[in-house]
C-alpha cells in the first residue's frame, strides 16, 4: 500500500479528481491562451477545501499534512491538469508558509508530521490580513526572491529595505515571479543590511503601494496558464508590521521552506511522467502502423515499460523522502536528490511520450505537447538541478 493510500486520502483524491474534471478541464485551453487562471477558480477550490490543504485550521486552512498536499498535486496532474495550473492556483503554497511559521503554526507538515497549528503570536495580524483571505480564495499572493542579477545565489539579493521610523523603504527589482501579475500582495525577500550581505528579511508588500509597479507579463515556453511578472520597487514605504518574523531571519526562513517547494516540484515531475505514460500507452494501443497497433511491437512495449518504471521509481523515492520530512527528519540532501531524480525521470518520459505520438505529439491539440513544454521549468524553479547537485555534494562531505 502506498504511503498516500489511506481511506481519507482516497476521498481527497476523488474530491481533487472531481474538481479537475468539472472546474478545470473544460477551460484549461482557454486559460492557457489567456495567460492566467481566473480569480473565481481560487474561490471555488477554497470552498471545497482544496486550497487550504496542508495549512492548519487555526489559520484558515483545511488541515492535513505534507503527504496530503503531495496527493492533491499528484492527482491534479493525473486527472488531466498540469504543473502550470498548480503553479498558478497554489502559489500560496510558497507565498504563505513563512507567515504561518512565524505566527507559530506550520504549513505543509514541513517541520512536523501532523499540523497542530500551535499558539499564534505577534504575526497574527499577517494571518488575518493575508493568510485567511488567501486560503478563502479572495486574495492572491506571490513569493519574490529571484532578481534580474541572479536567482541561484539567494544570499546575494540586492533589493534593499532601509529602516525609516516605523517603515522600511524598499528599492530594487524582482523577476520571473509566479502569479506576479494577479497578486494582491507579494512576500518579498529584501536585504536589511548592505546589498549582497546575506542579511535578509521577508516583507509583505501590497499591490498599489506607491512606488511598487508590476512590469510586463513575461511570455514563456510553458506554464502558459500561470502568469509571470517582473516587479519594481522605487522608494516603496512598507510598514514594519508587514515584516515576517524577526529582522535578518529571512535567509533561514527561505531555506526551510524551499524544501516543501522542492518536494512539490518533484511531485509535479513524477506525476507528469505518470500522466505521460498513461497518454502514450493509450495512444500506442489505438494507433496502428503497418497494419497493427504500435503496442503490439516489442520495441514499443519495452519503451513504455521503461517509461513506467522510471516514473514509478521516482514516485516511490519522492514519497519516501516526503514521509521522512513529514516525520521531522532533517533530510535536506534527500530532498535535493528527490527533486533531481523526479525531474530526470520526467524529462526522459515526456520526451519519449511525445515521440511515440508522432506528428500529433507536436500539435497544440495534444495534451502531451503541453506537458513537454511545462516540464522544462521543473529542473529550473525552486533551485536548479545544478544547485541541487551542490547540496547533494555538500551532504556527501565534498
Ligand X SMILES: Cc1cc2nc3c(=O)[nH]c(=O)nc-3n(C[C@H](O)[C@H](O)[C@H](O)COP(=O)(O)OP(=O)(O)OC[C@H]3O[C@@H](n4cnc5c(N)ncnc54)[C@H](O)[C@@H]3O)c2cc1C
| Residues catalogued as catalytic | 261
Q: CB-based contacts of 390: which residues, under 8 Å, 6+ apart?
A: none
| Cβ–Cβ < 8 Å for 196, 133 | no
CB-nearer residue toward ligand X: 257 or 303:
257
Q: Is 187 left (phi over 0), alpha (psi -120 to 50) or beta?
A: beta
Q: CB-based contacts of 181: which residues, under 8 Å, 6+ apart?
A: 36, 214, 217, 227, 228, 229
CB-nearer residue toward ligand X: 277 or 378:
378
Shortest-Cβ-distance residue relative to ligand X:
151
Residues lying near ligand X in the complex (CB under 6 A) are found at 142-146, 150-152, 176-178, 220, 223, 228, 377, 380-381, 383-384, 386-387, 390
- What's the closest the beta carbon of residue 95 comes to ligand X, in angstroms? 8
- Which 8-state DSSP code applies to residue 109? T
- What's the closest the beta carbon of residue 187 comes to ligand X, in angstroms? 9
- What's the closest the beta carbon of residue 221 comes to ligand X, in angstroms? 9
CB-nearer residue toward ligand X: 102 or 142:
142
CB under 8 A, 24+ apart: contacts of 294-303:
294/356, 300/356, 303/352, 303/356
Q: Cα separation of 211 and 225, whole Å?
A: 28
Give the distance between the most distant pair of CA atoms in the chain.
79
- What's the closest the beta carbon of residue 151 comes to ligand X, in angstroms? 2
- How many CB atoms sit inside 10 A of residue 302's CB? 10
Question: Where in 251-296 does DSSP place strands (E)?
Answer: 288-289, 292-293
Closest CA to 186 of 167, 201, 158, 207: 207
- What's the closest the beta carbon of residue 64 comes to ligand X, in angstroms? 23
Bridge partners, 288 (sequence order): 293
CB-nearer residue toward ligand X: 4 or 89:
89
CB-nearer residue toward ligand X: 284 or 341:
341
Q: Cα separation of 343 and 353, whole Å?
A: 15
| Cβ–Cβ < 8 Å for 22, 50 | no
- What's the closest the beta carbon of residue 386 comes to ligand X, in angstroms? 3
CB-nearer residue toward ligand X: 223 or 372:
223
Half-sphere exposure of 67 (CA within 13 A, CB side): 22
| Cβ–Cβ < 8 Å for 3, 319 | yes
Amino acid at each position: 500500500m502506498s504511503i498516500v493510500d489511506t481511506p481519507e486520502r482516497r476521498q481527497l483524491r476523488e474530491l481533487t479528481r472531481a474538481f479537475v474534471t468539472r472546474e478545470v478541464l473544460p477551460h484549461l485551453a482557454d486559460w492557457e491562451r489567456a495567460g492566467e487562471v481566473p480569480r473565481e477558480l481560487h474561490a471555488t477550490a477554497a470552498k471545497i477545501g482544496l486550497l487550504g490543504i496542508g495549512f492548519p485550521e487555526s489559520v484558515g486552512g483545511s488541515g492535513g499534512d505534507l503527504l496530503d498536499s503531495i496527493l492533491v498535486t499528484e492527482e491534479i496532474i493525473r486527472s488531466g491538469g498540469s504543473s502550470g495550473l498548480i503553479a498558478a492556483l497554489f502559489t500560496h503554497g510558497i507565498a504563505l508558509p513563512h507567515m504561518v511559521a512565524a505566527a507559530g503554526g506550520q504549513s505543509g507538515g514541513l517541520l512536523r508530521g501532523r499540523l497542530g497549528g500551535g499558539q499564534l503570536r505577534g504575526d497574527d495580524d499577517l494571518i488575518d490580513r493575508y493568510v485567511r483571505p488567501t486560503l478563502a480564495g479572495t486574495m492572491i499572493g506571490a513569493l519574490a526572491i529571484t532578481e534580474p542579477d541572479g536567482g541561484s545565489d539567494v544570499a546575494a539579493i540586492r533589493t534593499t529595505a532601509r529602516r525609516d521610523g516605523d517603515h522600511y523603504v524598499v528599492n530594487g527589482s524582482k523577476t520571473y515571479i509566479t502569479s506576479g501579475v494577479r497578486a494582491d500582495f507579494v512576500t518579498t525577500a529584501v536585504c536589511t543590511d548592505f546589498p549582497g550581505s546575506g542579511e535578509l528579511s521577508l516583507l509583505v508588500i501590497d499591490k498599489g503601494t506607491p512606488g511598487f509597479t508590476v512590469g510586463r507579463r513575461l511570455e514563456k515556453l510553458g506554464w502558459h496558464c500561470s502568469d509571470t511578472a517582473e516587479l519594481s520597487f522605487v522608494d516603496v514605504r512598507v510598514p514594519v508590521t508587514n515584516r515576517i518574523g524577526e529582522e535578518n531571519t529571512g535567509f533561514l526562513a527561505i531555506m526551510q521552506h524551499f524544501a516543501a517547494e522542492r518536494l512539490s516540484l518533484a511531485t509535479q515531475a513524477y506525476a507528469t511522467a505518470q500522466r505521460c505514460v498513461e497518454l502514450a500507452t493509450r495512444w500506442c494501443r489505438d494507433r496502428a502502423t503497418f497494419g497493427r497497433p504500435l503496442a503490439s511491437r516489442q520495441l514499443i512495449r519495452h519503451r513504455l515499460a521503461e517509461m513506467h518504471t522510471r516514473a514509478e521509481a521516482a514516485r516511490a523515492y519522492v514519497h519516501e523522502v516526503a514521509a521522512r520530512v513529514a516525520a521531522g527528519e532533517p533530510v535536506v540532501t534527500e530532498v535535493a536528490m528527490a527533486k533531481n531524480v523526479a525531474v530526470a525521470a520526467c524529462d526522459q518520459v515526456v520526451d519519449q511520450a511525445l515521440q511515440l505520438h508522432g506528428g500529433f505529439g507536436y500539435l497544440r491539440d495534444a495534451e502531451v505537447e503541453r506537458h513537454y513544454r511545462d516540464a522544462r521549468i521543473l529542473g529550473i524553479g525552486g533551485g536548479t538541478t545544478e544547485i541541487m547537485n551542490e547540496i547533494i555534494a555538500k551532504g556527501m562531505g565534498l
